[in-house]
Amino acid sequence: MHTNYYFLRQLAPALDLQLAGLRFVECFSQDRDEVVLVFAQAKGRLNYYKPFYIKATLRPDFSGLLFPERVQRARTNSIDLFEEVINPVRAHEQDQLASNVAEEVTANRPGRAVVGVRFFLNERCLAILLEDQYTLLFKFFGNRPNLLAFHGNAVIELFNQKLASDQQLVLDAFDRPIDQSWEAFVQAGFEYRKLFPTFGRVVNEWISQQKAGLEEKIGPHEEWEIIQQTLQRLEQPRYYLTRLDHRPTLSLVPIGDIQREFDDSIEAANRFFISYNGLNVFEREKGDLLRLLEKRRKRAESLIEVNLQRMIDREEGASHEEIGHILMANLHDIPKGPGAKSPETVTLVDFYRDQPITIRLKPDLSPQKNAENYYRKAKNEKLEADYLTAQVTAREEEIIRLDQQKADLEAIQTLKELRRYTKQHNLLGDQPGKGINEDGTIQLFKEVTVDNFRILIGRNARNNDLLTQKYAYKDDLWLHARDVAGSHVIIKHQAGKPFPKNVIERAAELAAWYSKRRTDSLCPVIVTPKKFVRKPKGLAEGQVIVEKESSILVVPKE
């Protein structure tokens, strides 16, 4: 997308020069996600010359600006927008003029004059300022882009009416000052992304490449120098039309497979817009599949690393069986609390390694019962060890398979062959929804279907509340990873049908995956009908109280 904050910073002054001396004379839409703005030296409402066009595409999956030489407006299926902003007749003039006179004045007014173009500090927005304190603001927030009209500080009209919360936005609140000094970098624990949230995916990838290109491991000062050099590039850039992650990208840094370079931001925006939207169905689907395979490969590599570290930790530390033996051999040395209970921790001699060992105990159990508890855990250790070994082997085999599938996809040249291969190898598989419905609307929740049962997954704490409180009914099944933060998961009830065991297990795997226990070997998951879940006043977002529950032990799985 070319709605990157740093690109908008460069685009604003370029547009300011283009729009100087022009008026906002027309605005219309011929497509649900597209709006055209016309600026010109106007003689009258519909009598103007030297027009400058801005075509904005504002889809959840793509937002951008095009500045075409001309736009042919269709005679049908187009609608005028932002009439109040275009019409310069003041309210008090309307009161003073008879209706027929007011219409004549309106028809001959030349549209509101452009006062300037501005960006907003650390925010992906671009505003065209008009006379009489009117403002047109392009908002490029993730999958919620929109065009808003302000009068003063207040919203008076939206292009996308479905984004109702945009009505509450305040123009003066868009600037977002952030301390981006060295001192703030230190205070943030040398996590530069906290200071520069507007860098985005491309710039962060560039910084990673610069760090990786150095021969030695760098420290905070060297990383800070790279960040400052990157900022200089972003403030005085060239523009690169490149291919990154198998799709056209407009970058302010030289990265990826560079196709063209530009000095002019408007020309760069046009070329990128045309390149991105000019992709055919085959190119889009092939790029999506290649990105999906690469994402799965990175996940497999990460899981191998996690599981190998767990295996190393297990070998270096005492096993549960050994801890049980150590406790039983030292029962007389463990201090007794009230009722012959145990302390929370005890330090004893590990006679296997001839060194001290600190053992965690459950205070409500006696030392002997604690030893028995460790013996019970030991029975699962062999299973867990076998599981970890199997996981590493499976992920290694998965990487080999993914690499082969990627090579196969690269060689495919037709859409028919691509779709046949995708189906034969089940590349899309049992994946949660991407957040966008086929009609372009945004899905509220991640969704998976198993044996015709719908499984809904909350996206964050607020979304969890929405799912549990508004979209779940008493007979739905509610799941959540035990004792950790994570997504609420709902299996929708079907009248007269019990919940199949395999559906419950699949939903539990998802609840485990979308939680802080994602990397655990096994995860306990709460399962209960929604009617036993309530949210008293005063609880934080996403927090609930479960009054009756059972649990299931599963392997976290996406």
Question: Which H or E run includes 101?
Answer: helix 99-108
Instruction: State residue 94's pLDDT score.
Output: 45
Domain boundary residue among 227, 251, 283?
Answer: 283
> What does the alpha-carbon distance between residue 241 and residue 419 come to, in Å, rounded to a whole number?
28
Instruction: State residue 92's pLDDT score.
Output: 42
Instruction: State residue 514's pLDDT score.
Output: 93
Domain with 247, as residue range(s), is: 182-283
Residue 108 has pLDDT above 60, yes or no: no
Residue 232 has pLDDT above 80, yes or no: yes
Residue 434 in domain = no
Q: What is the pLDDT of residues 135-148, one digit of tens each?
A: 999 999 888 999 99
**131 and 199 housed in the same domain:** no
> What does the alpha-carbon distance between residue 260 and residue 258 come to, in Å, rounded to a whole number?
6
Mean model confidence pLDDT for the chain = 86
**58 and 148 housed in the same domain:** yes
- With 0-12 / 13-18 / 19 or more C-beta atoms within 10 angstroms meaning exposed / middle / buried, residue 253 is buried
**100 and 234 housed in the same domain:** no
Instruction: State residue 221's pLDDT score.
Output: 93
94 within 8 A of 103, measured Cβ to Cβ: no
Residue 291 in domain = no
**371 and 451 housed in the same domain:** no
Place of tokens 């609880």: 539
Question: Which H or E run includes 307?
Answer: helix 281-316
**225 and 207 housed in the same domain:** yes
Amino acid at residue number 300: A
Residue 156 has pLDDT above 90, yes or no: yes
Model confidence at 99, pLDDT cuts 50, 70, 90, reads very low
**Widest CA span of the chain, in angstroms?**
103
Q: What is the dihedral of CA 389, 394, 400, 403, to 10 degrees?
A: -120
What's the rounded mean pLDDT across residues 504-516?
A: 92
Instruction: State residue 2's pLDDT score.
Output: 56
Joined together, the tokens standing for residue 279 give 């992709």
**33 and 149 housed in the same domain:** yes
**260 and 357 housed in the same domain:** no
Question: Which H or E run includes 369?
Answer: helix 367-411
Residue 116 has pLDDT above 90, yes or no: yes
Residue 196 in domain = yes
Instruction: State residue 272's pLDDT score.
Output: 92
Q: What is the pLDDT of residues 286-336, one digit of tens each?
A: 988 998 999 899 988 988 888 888 777 777 778 888 888 989 888 888 887
**156 and 15 housed in the same domain:** yes
Residue 419 has pLDDT above 50, yes or no: yes
Residue 438 has pLDDT above 80, yes or no: no
**319 and 401 housed in the same domain:** yes
With H, G, I as helix, E, B as strand and everything else as coil, classify residue 557. Answer: coil
Residue 300 in domain = yes
**268 and 305 housed in the same domain:** no
> What does the alpha-carbon distance between residue 192 and residue 181 come to, in Å, rounded to a whole number?
10
Give the distance from CA 12 to its chain's centroid: 26
Model confidence at 557, pLDDT cuts 50, 70, 90, reads confident
What spatial distance separates the first Cα and last Cα of the chain, rounded to whole Å?
28
What's the rounded mean pLDDT across residues 179-185?
A: 95
Question: Which H or E run includes 57?
Answer: strand 47-58
Our count of domains for the chain comes to 4
Domain boundary residue among 283, 306, 328?
Answer: 283
| Residue among 465, 463, 516 nearest 486 (CA) | 516
Give the distance from CA 403 to its chain's centroid: 26
Q: Work out whether the CA dihedral 212, 214, 220, 221 comes out positive or negative.
A: negative
Q: What is the number of other CB atoms lying within 10 angstroms of the CB of residue 175?
A: 13
Model confidence at 48, pLDDT cuts 50, 70, 90, reads low
Residue 65 has pLDDT above 90, yes or no: yes
Residue 478 has pLDDT above 60, yes or no: yes
Residue 432 in domain = no
Q: What is the pLDDT of residues 340-385, one digit of tens each?
A: 678 888 889 888 888 898 988 888 888 888 898 888 878 767 677 7
What's the rounded mean pLDDT across residues 499-516?
A: 92
**504 and 543 housed in the same domain:** yes
Specify the long-range contacts of residues 544-553, CB closer than 8 Å, at least 24 apart: 544/468, 544/488, 546/478, 546/480, 550/526, 551/482, 551/524, 551/525, 551/526, 551/527, 552/504, 552/505, 552/508, 552/524, 552/525, 552/527, 553/522, 553/523, 553/524, 553/525
- With 0-12 / 13-18 / 19 or more C-beta atoms within 10 angstroms meaning exposed / middle / buried, residue 322 is middle
Residue 549 has pLDDT above 50, yes or no: yes
Instruction: State residue 47's pLDDT score.
Output: 57
Residue 280 has pLDDT above 80, yes or no: no
**85 and 155 housed in the same domain:** yes
Percentage of the chain modeled with pLDDT above 70: 90
> What does the alpha-carbon distance between residue 325 and residue 528 come to, in Å, rounded to a whole number?
38
- Side-chain-side CA neighbours of 482 within 13 Å: the count stands at 13
Pairing of β 523-529 and β 154-158: unpaired
Triad 20, 23, 24: Cα angle to 5°? 125
Poorest-pLDDT segment among 32-46, 116-130, 475-489: 32-46
Poorest-pLDDT segment among 49-53, 118-122, 427-431: 427-431
Residue 442 has pLDDT above 50, yes or no: no
Joined together, the tokens standing for residue 149 give 């009209």
Domain boundary residue among 424, 457, 483?
Answer: 424
